[in-house]
């Protein structure tokens, strides 16, 4: 992991990793919890576990690709060699994730065939716990090391342009999945800021659909406060 931190970098600038990393920490924690409590001899519970796992792994892949193709690619042009640590981490994460995805599919397919997948479920839980810890360490390194480098080499306007490129690549269906994990992981003010921006830019039908998704993952009090702020 990286250890160099640039000096004299102001910290009150946009934190480009906050939104995706909060979402992923939430998603990974939910999958860890479900992996541990699933009854692997119950087909419906395994199906629920599998669907969450699919969503989480898709999000991890999207995020890694976005970083590789936009954030790190742009940083590499300004500061050659500075992105290599993150790129190397992404390769290792992908290899570990691929093994987990294959095991997840095996569990699901065997369960559909009527098999008790408790043994494989226990292995997934342990392997995922190892993966989860490594991913959290990687995310923290990006926030402590790569983020200051982005502040050093890019203006706020340039960082906003990077974010625009990333957002433009995400299909609407995938964006709704992200909202399930982003919004409940944010503070009230962060939610209001995010959804105010979405309301201003997105078609009303998509915004309304997003709000229905969000309603399912917030408490009644949280959603009422958000709704009132957006009115």
Task: Give the chain's domains with CATH numbers.
Answer: 18-170 (1.20.120.520), 186-231 (no CATH)
In terms of residues, how long is the chain? 231
Per DSSP, the residues of 24-86 read HHHHHHHHHHHHHH--TT-HHHHHHHHHHHHHHHHHHHHHHHHIIIIIHHHHHHHSTTTTHHH
pLDDT at site 39: 98
pLDDT at site 6: 46
Helix 172-182 with 204-215: angle, nearest 10 deg: 40
What is the C-alpha separation between 219 and 141, in angstroms, rounded?
32
User: Which residues, including other chains, have CB under 8 Å from residue 133's CB and lie 6 or more apart?
Assistant: none
What is the C-alpha separation between 134 and 111, in angstroms, rounded?
29
Please identify every stretch of the chain with a pLDDT value under 70, giving residue numbers as ranges: 1-11
Burial label for 82, CB within 10 Å (0-12, 13-18, 19+), is buried
pLDDT at site 107: 98
Per DSSP, the residues of 191-211 read HHHHHHHHHHHS-HHHHHHHH
pLDDT at site 12: 77
């Amino acid at each position: 992991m990286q250890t160099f931190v640039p000096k004299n970098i102001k910290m009150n600038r946009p934190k480009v990793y906050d939104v995706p990393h909060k979402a992923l920490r939430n998603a990974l924690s939910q999958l860890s919890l479900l992996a541990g409590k699933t009854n692997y001899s119950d087909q419906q519970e395994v199906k629920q576990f599998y669907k969450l796992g699919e969503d989480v792994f898709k999000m991890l892949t999207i995020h890694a690709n976005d970083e590789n193709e936009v954030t790190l690619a742009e940083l590499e042009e300004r500061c050659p060699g500075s992105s290599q640590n993150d790129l190397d981490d992404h390769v290792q994460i992908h290899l570990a994730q691929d093994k987990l995805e294959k095991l997840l599919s095996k569990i699901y397919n065997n369960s559909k065939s009527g098999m008790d997948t408790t043994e494989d479920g226990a292995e997934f839980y342990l392997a995922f716990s190892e993966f989860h810890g490594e991913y959290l360490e990687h995310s923290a390194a990006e926030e402590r090391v790569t983020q200051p480098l982005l502040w050093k080499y890019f203006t706020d306007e340039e960082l906003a342009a990077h974010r625009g490129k990333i957002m433009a690549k995400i299909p609407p269906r995938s964006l709704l999945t992200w909202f399930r994990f982003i919004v409940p992981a944010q503070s009230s003010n962060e939610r209001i800021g995010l959804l105010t921006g979405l309301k201003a830019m997105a078609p009303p039908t998509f915004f309304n659909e997003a709000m229905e998704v969000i309603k399912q993952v917030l408490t009644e009090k949280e959603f009422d406060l958000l709704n009132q702020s957006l009115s």
